């Protein structure tokens, strides 16, 4: 894993060695695990408060 500007990146897809020092290859940011967030924070808060899931119109 290569850390640049506080972002963890891998040098090749699937290569996540902690001893990796490849700086000359294209870097790909390692995304967080799980499903990506599809709603804005405002609509997500409304969903939690009102217990209703609506499509984000923001």
Inter-residue contact 12 to 30 (CB < 8 Å): no
DSSP bridge pairs for 11: none
Average pLDDT, the chain: 70
Question: With bands split at pLDDT 50, 70 and 90, how would you rate the model's confidence at 43?
Answer: confident
| Domain ranges within the chain, ordered by starting residue | 1-31
pLDDT at 3: 55
Span 9-34, pLDDT tens digits = 555 555 556 666 666 666 666 677 88
Q: Tell me how far apart the alpha carbons of residues 43 and 38 are, in angstroms, rounded to a whole number.
A: 10
pTM of structure:
0.37
């Amino acid at each position: 894993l290569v850390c640049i500007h506080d972002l963890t990146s891998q040098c090749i897809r699937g290569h996540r060695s902690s001893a990796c020092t490849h700086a000359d290859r294209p870097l790909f940011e390692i995304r967080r695990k799980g499903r990506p967030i599809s709603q804005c924070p405002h609509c997500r808060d409304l969903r939690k408060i009102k217990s209703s899931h609506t499509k984000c119109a923001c």
